Amino acid sequence: MAHGEAQLSEESDHLEDGPQDACGVFGVWAPGEEVAKLAYFGLYALQHRGQESAGIAVGNGDNLLVYKDMGLVSQVFDESALNTLRGHVAVGHTRYSTTGASEWQNAQPTLGATPAGTVALGHNGNLTNTAELLELVRERVGSHVGELRYGNTTDTALVAALFGSYAGRTLQDSAAAALAHVRGAFSFVFCDESTLYAARDPQGVRPLVLGSLEHGWVVASETAALDIVGASVIREVEPGELIAVDADGLRSRRFAEPDPKGCLFEFVYLARPDTNISGRSVHETRVEIGRRLAREHPIDADLVIPVPESGTPAAVGYAEESGIPYGVGLVKNSYVGRTFIQPSQTLRQLGIRLKLNPLREMVAGKRLIVVDDSVVRGNTQRALVGMLREAGATEVHVRISSPPVKWPCFYGLDFASRTELIANGLSVDEIRHSIGADSLGYVALDTLIETTTVAKKDLCRACFDGVYPIEVPRAQHAGVLDDPQLSELPVDTPGGPEITSREAYVGTI
C-alpha cells in the first residue's frame, strides 16, 4: 500500500484499503534557533504518519502558543504563521485519528492547564484504558477542564487533563505520576512554557528517538525527522522513560519498568525507509524480507515489479535473490492521495487507477511478480491484478512482504475491523482466488521477525498472530465494537478494566 491514502475519499474501497498510520510527533528545545521552523520541517518528514491535521506549539519562557488546523503540514502552515510562533521550545504533531473524530477540536498538540502554566501535548499511539482515565480525571479535577470543555474527544485530552491534576507539583512530577495510570501505546512529546518532555509507554510500541543539535535537543517519531533538521541521533527514548530538557540540561527518569514490545509493522510499512529502528535500517530490513520472500516463494517469471512505493525495497530484494530482472511496471500518481478534494462518482469508480497506472510497454506479454507490503481487505491487490492483466501481463504472481494480517491493531494503527480483513477466515489459496492472482505468497512470520534482528519476545506481532501484549478492552476500538469475534481475542498480559462503549466516553465530555 502506498502511504497517504486516507484523504482522497472515505467512501472509496480501493483508496481506503491500506493500513492508516496513527500520528507523527516532534519536539525541539533549542534557544536561539527558529524552533517553529525546525518543527515544521520535522513534521514534513513525518507527514506519512498522519495527514488529517497538523499543529505546532511554541513556548518562549512566559507563554505557550499553539497553531493547528485540519490538513497537511504544507496546508496548515505558511511563513507568516510560523513567524508568529517564536520561542525556544516547540512540539509538533501530524494526526491520523484513532480515538476521537477527525475534526478541528481533536487536532494536536492538545492544551491543558497545569498548576504552574500550560502544557501542549502530542501523542502517537492509542490508549487502552480511556474509561479508567476518564474516571480518574473526573475524580481529580472534573471532566470540564482543558480541551475536554471544548469538545475534544481524544484520549490525549484526558492525559493532558491528568497532567494538570496534581496540585503543587512540577509538570515533570505530575507527568511521572499520571503516566503510571496510562495503559496502551503512547509516544508523548509535550512542553510547557520552558521545558520539552518526551515519554514512551513501557512496551515502547510506537517509536520515539532522541537527537541532539549543536545547541539543543530534538525528539521525534523517526530518525528520518532528526536527519532532516540536522540533528544527530543519540538513542531511542526507552520504554517506560520520561525525559525532560531545559536550561538545566537533559534529565531522565523511569515511570514504569520496561517490557519492550515494539511494533513489527513499523518495519514492514509504517516507518520511512530512511529511518532506523533499534539500530536497524528499515530499508535494509525490507530488502532482506524480499530476499527471504524469494527463497520461500520462488516462481519462474520475466519481471519483478513493486507496488510503489512501500513495496519497492522488498521487490529489489526479491529480484536480487531470484535473479529475475527488476523493473517499474506501475507508476504512482504521487500527490493524488494528498488532496482533500472529494473525487466525483466517476473518478471514484476508477479506484486504484487514480493512484497507480500500469506501464504497458513494460508489462505486456510478461509473466510478472508483483511485490507489495501487506494485504488488508484485498481490494487494492484485486484491482491491481486486473489492471495488469488488462495491460497485457500473461501471468501475475503476487508476493507479500508481511504475513497475513488477521487481527486488528489497538495500539495506534487503523487497519480495518477484523471482519473486513481478507485473511480472517480465508486460506492463502482462497485469497489468491479472490484477488485473481496466478499465485500468492506471504513471507513467514518468523522470517519477518528474523530480518528485524529484534528478539521475538520484544516485538508486538498482534495483527499477525493475535497475541496482544497489552490487554485490549473489548469495546474500546470504534472499528470493532460490533465484532462478535472479539470475545476470542487472546491476551498474554493482565491489564486494566474493560470499558462499556466508546460512545459513552464521548458523550460524557
> Which positions touch ligand SF4 (CB under 6 A)?
205, 263-265, 409, 411, 413, 460-463
For residue 277, the minimal CB distance to ligand SF4 (Å) is 12
- Least distance between ligand SF4 and beta carbon 471 (Å): 13
| Beta bridge pairs of residue 371 | 306, 399
Say if residue 372 carries a ligand binding annotation: yes
Is 23 a known active-site residue?
yes
| Chain position carrying cell 478494566 | 497
Nearer Cβ to ligand SF4, position 264 or 363? 264
- E strand or H helix at 94: strand 89-95
For residue 452, give the C-alpha cell: 528485524
Q: Are 125 and 187 in contact (CB under 8 A)?
A: yes
Task: Give kind and range of the element (H or E) at residue 390.
Answer: helix 379-390
- Kindly state the smallest distance separating residue 298's Cβ from ligand SF4, in Å: 27
460 is known to lie in a ligand binding site:
yes
- Least spacing, CB of residue 126 vs ligand SF4, in Å: 9
Give the Cβ contact number of residue 86 at 10 Å.
Answer: 14
| 509 grid coordinates | 465530555
Task: Return the number of the residue (174 or 476) whose C-beta is nearest ligand SF4.
Answer: 476
Smallest distance, Å, CB 344 to ligand SF4? 33
Q: Could you tell me the sign of the dihedral formed by the alpha carbons of 383, 389, 393, 397, in that order?
A: positive
Whether 310 has a binding-site annotation, put simply, is yes
Q: Measured between alpha carbons, how far is 110 from 117 in angstroms, rounded to an integer?
A: 14
CB of 209 to ligand SF4, least distance (A): 17
Spot the catalytic one: 23, 85, 294, 413: 23
Burial of residue 27, with CB atoms counted within 10 A of its CB: 0-12 exposed, 13-18 middle, 19 or more buried: buried
| Angstrom distances, CA of residue 508 to CA of 27, 121, 151 | 31, 22, 10
Q: Spell out where 401-506 has E strands.
A: 439-442, 459-460
Judged by DSSP in three states, 457 sits in helix
Q: CB-wise, 457 or 507, nearer to ligand SF4?
A: 457
Q: The C-alpha cell of 36 is what? A: 517553529
> Are 55 and 42 contacting, i.e. CB atoms less than 8 angstroms apart?
no
- Per the CB < 8 A criterion, the answer to whether 499 and 130 are in contact is yes
- Asked whether the beta carbons of 309 and 336 are under 8 A apart, the reply is no
Q: Which grid coordinates belong to 145?
A: 477542564
Could you list the residues known to form a binding site, using ranges. 263, 310, 372-373, 409, 460, 463
Could you list the residues known to form a binding site for [4Fe-4S] cluster, using ranges. 263, 409, 460, 463
Could you list the residues known to form a binding site for Mg(2+), using ranges. 310, 372-373
Residues acting as catalytic residues: 23
